[in-house]
A = this chain, B = another copy of it.
Amino acid sequence: MAGNTFGQLFKISTFGESHGPAIGVIIDGCPAQLNIDLDFIQSELDKRKPGQSRITTQRKESDTVQVLSGIFEGKSTGTPIGLLIPNEDHRSKDYEHNKDVYRPSHADYTYDAKYGFRDHRGGGRSSARETAARVAAGAIAKLLLKEQGIEIFAHVASVGKINAPNLEDLSVAELLELREDNIVRCADPATAKQMIECIDGIRKDGDTIGGKISCLVKNCPVGLGEPVFDKLHADLGKAMLSINAVHGFEYGSGFSGSEMRGSEHNDIFINDGDAPRTITNFSGGIQGGISNGMEINFTVAFKPVATIMHNQQTVNAAGEASEIKGKGRHDPCVVPRAVVIVEAMAALVLADQLLRSKTNRVS
């Protein structure tokens, strides 16, 4: 109940603090005989790791993954897969000066209030460093999905007020190539350039900026998602909202759908050879909480990172007025590194619902 577990059948439990010896994840429920490509897991982690470009934090972590269990002769055994990522560059002393003060819009105060004390070093468990464990687990979920042909792609849809145009209808491989061609991870090169300039300026100001990530899922089979509470988009929404700094989620027509009429919004079915498909896709690939075979798409809104290089007023644990010094290392904008986290959480939801769908019918 303490909330460090995600998924029902493809279930992960993460552990570890920002400045402890390691973070890691246990995956329980990965089916046996899945080929596990460790290089792929590492390459996913590399997309999230700090220090990868000038627009990310300069903390240095190789984020090298170690296998503790559950893989034998290159395949999953059906037993728990344990993955460990040692922490390397944990300058705990950077945080000594903030030990007793509550950093604005961080979790310092709420952790103290909830638990009576906290591991203050780098945010402890509340640090986004925990998401490395999700990325490692999500990589294995992606390998499982790939066997079914399911592909996931996310990219940076906006930084501040700079919005990317809608993606052209390209293959996931083509989209990935466009995205990885720039350090902000936006698949539209012209927009990417503007975004990078924006973040560069923000960084020089010692400030931070929010952004949005959009994600799509191709080749999702019809029938994933459970009616009522565990609707596919409800599970996706929870997954995304559980990522640090996320403040909003929408799928299909999203918030703009609330301004539309039914006669515009309804997705008309046509017959496309072997299965129905819809002419429009305001449903975002999900109807009644269940995938309908169309492309799934959703967007996730991230607030600006709370750690800024300005001095800020606050209070300390004793209730006294205090000042936070703006120093240390930080990400001016979180979305370039969060793209792979969004993909990982989407993969975890889909892998879980894929397994759940195997018991929907007799025989």
* Residue A228 interfacial (CB < 8 Å): yes
* Residue A122 interfacial (CB < 8 Å): no
Scan A38-79; emit 1 where CB is below 8 A from any B CB, else 0.
000000000000000000000000000011111011011111
Q: Which listed residue, B111, B241, B283, touches A231 by the CB 8 Å rule? A: B241
* Residue A28 interfacial (CB < 8 Å): yes
Q: Which of A164-172, A174-182, A187-195, A251-259 sits within the interface?
A: A251-259
Give the interface SS of chain A, mostly helix, strand, loop or mixed. mixed
Are A115's CB and B78's CB within 8 A?
Answer: yes
* Residue A150 interfacial (CB < 8 Å): no
Q: List 30 A-B contacts (CB under 8 A).
A: A2-B29, A4-B229, A13-B80, A15-B80, A16-B80, A16-B82, A17-B79, A20-B68, A32-B117, A75-B117, A77-B118, A77-B119, A104-B268, A113-B222, A114-B357, A130-B228, A158-B259, A208-B261, A208-B262, A231-B241, A234-B241, A248-B258, A252-B303, A253-B303, A262-B304, A264-B304, A265-B303, A268-B314, A271-B320, A355-B359
Query: 5 tightest A-B contacts by CB?
Result: A107-B288, A3-B226, A3-B230, A248-B250, A208-B262
Beyond A2-B226, A116-B361, A210-B258, 14 extra complex contacts between A and B, CB < 8 Å: A1-B226, A4-B79, A15-B81, A20-B69, A23-B69, A32-B115, A77-B117, A107-B288, A113-B293, A144-B362, A160-B260, A208-B262, A254-B301, A275-B319
